[in-house]
Amino acid sequence: MNHDHEYTPSNGLTKWLDKRLPLIRFADENMLSFPTPKNLNYFWTFGFILTLCLVTQIITGIILAMHYTPHVLLAFDSIEHIMRDVNYGWLIRYIHANGASMFFLAVFIHMFRGLYYGSYKEPREILWILGVVIFLLMIITAFMGYVLVWGQMSFWGATVITNLVATIPVVGESILTLLLGGFSVDNPTLNRFFSLHYLLPFVIFGVVILHIWALHVTGNNNPTGISVKDSNDTISFHPYYTVKDLFAYVVFLLMFSYFIFYNPNILGHPDNYIEADPMVTPAHIVPEWYLLPFYAILRAVPDKLMGVLLMFGSIAVLFFVPWLDTMKVRSARYRPTYKIFYFIFLVCCLLLGYLGGQAPEGIYLFLSRVCTIYYFAFFIAIMPILSKYEKPSAMPIGISNSAIDYNLEVDDNLEADDNLEADDNLVPSGNI
C-alpha cells in the first residue's frame, strides 16, 4: 500500500538516529501514519486486543515460571506456593489463567469476523494462513499449559489427548513414546510440556510479526469488502484508530477484570483443584472451554482414528478457505445466501462447544454428529457451491461513494490488480 505521508525527523537526535537505524521512521510509516480504510468497525479492534493479550500472557508466564517446579511430586504444591506465598502470586496466576480464556475469546471473534467479511480472499491469503498458524500454536500452547497445573483434569486430559497420537498408523506409538518420554504421562512428560509451553509463546510472537507484516503489505480489508481506491478512502491509523483500539481494549479489560477479581475459577474445572492421581479417574474428562468444539468433533464418531482425523481436519480445513470460497465479492453484507449459511455455521460452532462438555450419548451424540457434518459441509461443499452460483446483492461503488450502479454485472473472468480489485466493480442484484 502506498503512503502519501513522508516522515521528517524533527531534531538533531532523530536525524542522527534516522540515518543509522530508522526505527522512528519505520514506526511512523507502518503504524502511526499507515493509511487505513475509514469505515472499519469495532470488530477490527480485536487485532490490537489480541496483541496485548499475547504480551500479557508472556509477561505473566515468565513470572510464574520463576516460581513453578516442573516435577510430578512438586508441581501442584508449587502452584499452591504461588497462590499463597508469592507476593501478588494469586493475581498473576489468575491473570495468566483467565488471560488464556480471554485470548481465545478474542481470537474466535477475530476469525469469525474474517469469515464474515471475506478477509481471507485475494490478496490476503498468506495473511489468513498465518492467522490459522497462530491459532494452531495457541491451541498447542494452551493445552500444555493446562497440563502444568498437574490437577486431576490436567493429568487425565493429557492422558486422553496424548494417547490419540497412538492411533496414527505405523509411527503413532513411536511419536507417543517420544512425546511422553516413556510409556505414560509422568515426570518426563511434564518437563517436555513445561519447556514447550515456555518456548511456543515466543514462536507465536514471531508469527504475529509476520502476520502484521503481511497485513501492511496488502492493507486492511473493510466491512464493505471493496478495495481502497484513493486517499479519500483512508485515514491515518493515528490518532483515529489508536483511540478506537484503546477504548475497545478498556471495555475488554473491564470484562477481563470481572473474571480475575470476582469469578476467577468459573472457567476452570473443580477437579483440577485436586492433585493428580493416576489411580483415580474423574467421572467426566473435559478440556478447557475453548477446546470443547474440537473435543465434540473428536467424540462424534465411534472410530478412534476417524475421530482424530476429523479433529485435526477441523483446523486443517481452515488453511484452504481462500481457495474454497472463490466468490469475488468479499463481504457477507452483499451475499444474502452466504450470510444465512454463515450464521447457521456460527450457531453450529457454539453448539459444538456446549456438546463437548456433555456426555457423548443420546441426543448429545446425535447433535454432535449433525453439527460436525455441517461444520465440514460449510467449508467443503457450501462455500464452493455458493462461489459458483450465488448472485450478490447491489454494492456501493466505493468506500467513500455510497452510490449504487445497477448496470455493472459480475464478470467471472475478472482478475484483480494492484490498484483495483475485481470486486470493486461487482454490483449485481438478486439471490441464488
pLDDT tens profile 223-261: 999 999 888 899 999 899 999 999 999 999 999 999 999
* pLDDT value at residue 408: 43
- Measure the CA–CA gap between 140 and 162, rounded to whole angstroms: 12
Give the residue from 337, 365, 335 showing the smallest Cα distance to 352: 365
* pLDDT value at residue 430: 40
Other beta carbons within 10 Å of 276: 23
Give the residue from 103, 379, 398 showing the smallest Cα distance to 222: 398
Average confidence (pLDDT) over 316-323: 98
pTM above 0.85, yes or no: yes
Write b or e for each residue in 387-399: b if 16 or more Cβ atoms lie within 10 A of its Cβ, otherwise e: beebebbebbbbb
- Measure the CA–CA gap between 111 and 132, rounded to whole angstroms: 9
pLDDT in tens, 195-223: 999 999 999 999 999 999 999 999 999 99
- CATH assignment of 34-285, given 3.20.20.80, 3.40.640.10, 1.20.810.10, 3.30.70.60? 1.20.810.10
Find out whether 192 and 179 touch, Cβ atoms under 8 Å: yes
Cell numbers for 199, please give them: 518456548
Phi–psi pair at 76, nearest 5 degrees: -65, -40
Q: Would the pLDDT of 28 be above 80?
A: yes
Amino acid at residue number 151: G
* pLDDT value at residue 4: 55
Find out whether 332 and 339 touch, Cβ atoms under 8 Å: yes
pLDDT-derived band at 415, boundaries 50, 70, 90: very low
Torsion of CA 249, 254, 259, 260, to 10 degrees: 90
Alpha helices by DSSP H, listed for 219-303, are: 240-261, 292-299
For residue 162, what are the CA distances in angstroms to 155, 158, 222? Answer: 11, 6, 41
Average confidence (pLDDT) over 348-377: 96
* pLDDT value at residue 3: 53
Other beta carbons within 10 Å of 364: 17
Q: Would the pLDDT of 25 be above 60?
A: yes
Give the residue from 248, 214, 219, 251 showing the smallest Cα distance to 235: 219
Cell numbers for 74, please give them: 512438586
Give the residue from 366, 323, 373 showing the smallest Cα distance to 348: 373
pLDDT-derived band at 427, boundaries 50, 70, 90: very low
% of the chain surpassing 90 pLDDT:
76
* pLDDT value at residue 32: 83
Residue 326 CB burial class (10 angstroms; 0-12, 13-18, ≥19): middle
Torsion of CA 354, 375, 208, 119, to 10 degrees: -120
* pLDDT value at residue 412: 39
Find out whether 232 and 400 touch, Cβ atoms under 8 Å: yes
- Measure the CA–CA gap between 227 and 208, rounded to whole angstroms: 24
Q: What rounded mean pLDDT belongs to the chain? A: 90
pLDDT in tens, 67-111: 999 999 999 999 999 999 999 999 999 999 999 999 999 999 999
| CA–CA–CA angle 62, 68, 72 (5° rounding) | 140
The SS3 assignment for 290 reads helix
List, in order, residues 6 or more apart from 69 with CB less than 8 Å away. Answer: 75, 77, 78
What is the full DSSP assignment across 234-257?
EEESTTHHHHHHHHHHHHHHHHHH
Q: Would the pLDDT of 165 be above 80?
A: yes
Q: Would the pLDDT of 400 be above 90?
A: no
Find out whether 243 and 89 touch, Cβ atoms under 8 Å: no
Cell numbers for 360, please give them: 457423548
Q: Would the pLDDT of 424 be above 50?
A: no
In sign, the C-alpha dihedral spanning 109, 110, 113, 115 is negative
% of the chain surpassing 70 pLDDT:
92
Q: Hunting for cell 490437577 — which residue is that?
A: 151
- Measure the CA–CA gap between 90 and 96, rounded to whole angstroms: 10
- Measure the CA–CA gap between 55 and 77, rounded to whole angstroms: 27
pLDDT-derived band at 151, boundaries 50, 70, 90: very high
In DSSP terms, which residues pair with 236 in a beta bridge? 35
Q: Would the pLDDT of 21 be above 50?
A: yes
The SS3 assignment for 35 reads strand
Q: Is the peptide bond before 201 cis (omega within 30 degrees of 0)?
A: no
Find out whether 153 and 285 touch, Cβ atoms under 8 Å: yes
The SS3 assignment for 396 reads strand
Q: Would the pLDDT of 418 be above 80?
A: no
Q: Would the pLDDT of 292 be above 90?
A: yes
* pLDDT value at residue 405: 53
Q: Would the pLDDT of 332 be above 70?
A: yes
pLDDT-derived band at 410, boundaries 50, 70, 90: very low
Where along the chain do its domains lie? 34-285, 298-394
